[in-house]
Amino acid sequence: MRLSGFRFSKKTGNFTIKDDAIRYAELKQAEPLMMGMCEERLLPEGLIRGGVIQDFDTLSLILDECVREWGIKGRKIRFTVPDSHVVIRKVSVPGDLIDDEIRGHLYVEIGSSIHLPFDEAVFDYIVTGRTDKELHLLLFASSEELVRSYSDLFDNAGLKPDAADISPLCQYRFYLNQKPKVDRAASVMLIQYDLSGVNLSIFQQEQPVFMRNIEVDKNYLVLDKGEQYVRKNGELEFMDSGEKYVKVNISPEDFRLQANEIIKEIDHVLNFYRFSLNQGNDEVSSFILTGDHPLLHEAERLLAERYDYPVDSLKNAQAESSNKTPLPASFYLTAGLALKEVR
């Protein structure tokens, strides 16, 4: 799978929609990375929960407003599928299948020999190895109903959904853009620590071979920009790039408790990857820490205390917005999606 290159179209927009925000970006230049339009709209609580749209009509109205304000009606776009509804599996198919037959074979096998946690699936795959008897694949699958709900959302707003991607691939693509000289053969764990959840994924030979999504308790409020707040009782506040404030109403002590629970899950994933998936023959050599949580620096410190692995937080990413300012970390995911168009 090639994740970098030089040819791209400037006409495709990129959307990442999470429980708390809609973000849109366009790629201007890949090397060094410079984004064109970068826009954001923070969302009221409850419109999306765990990636599932709860109030389609209200969300549709908000997206309509965004499309008008940003001047992107009719734009071809790609989007990310919610992490909580993505499955990654290693599967094998008969070795005598030609390339044009693989997808049809998977359609038949999903639901019979290949079991997924949803009734109807949309999927993609990568061929990772071949023998005379078997083709080895990485299968990426999501709920067809969920993906269709987002596709319908964009259609209703006058946009043209063209492709979907998964966030670990987008984040890793951004990482490779920033760190072109890293050892791409090494196995690494990508930790996406966001306000709305934490995603753990492991990359082996540049391929995501394992993924686990962890929900976290909501610990933020979206407030009008005109309202005034002060720092007190350990609460933290920061102003986002739009017309809203995000107020993180969790003390540093409570955040450390939350992060330590995540670290327990990291321990489980590391052990599962090393001993169950690889029979002790491979293990993670480093962490990549990214995400939009404003306390990401505290998570980095806790990881460094707990593990001997290097932790790369991408805090010094060489990426710019269109106004020549550093690209906010909250847009790294959307920028990685935009880099999908680079060949």
How much is the mean pLDDT over the chain?
87
| Edge-to-edge strands, sheet with 311-312 | 207-214, 197-204, 188-194, 286-290, 311-312
Predicted TM-score (pTM) of the model is: 0.88
* Cβ neighbours around 110 below 10 Å, total: 19
Per residue in 150-167, pLDDT (tens digit) is 999 999 999 999 999 999
The closest alpha carbon to 167, from 226, 100, 79, belongs to 79
**Which pLDDT value is given to residue 11?**
72
Percent of the chain exceeding pLDDT 70 equals 87
Confidence of residue 25 (pLDDT cuts 50, 70, 90): very high
Is 50's pLDDT higher than 50? yes
Give the per-residue SS3 of 140-203: EEEEHHHHHHHHHHHHHCCCEEEEEEEHHHHHHHHHHHHCCCCCCCCCEEEEEEECCEEEEEEE
Is 3's pLDDT higher than 80? no
Q: Which one is predicted more confidently, 282 or 6? A: 282
Confidence of residue 239 (pLDDT cuts 50, 70, 90): very low
Q: Which one is predicted more confidently, 156 or 219? A: 156
Give mean pLDDT, residues 169-178.
95
The CA radius of gyration of the chain, in Å to the nearest whole number, is 20
Q: Which one is predicted more confidently, 245 or 31? A: 31
Is 343's pLDDT higher than 60? no
CA distance 112 to 108: 8
Percent of the chain exceeding pLDDT 90 equals 66
Confidence of residue 149 (pLDDT cuts 50, 70, 90): very high
> What residue spans define the domains of the chain?
12-220+249-341
CATH topology of domain 12-220+249-341: Nucleotidyltransferase; domain 5 (3.30.420)
Confidence of residue 226 (pLDDT cuts 50, 70, 90): very low
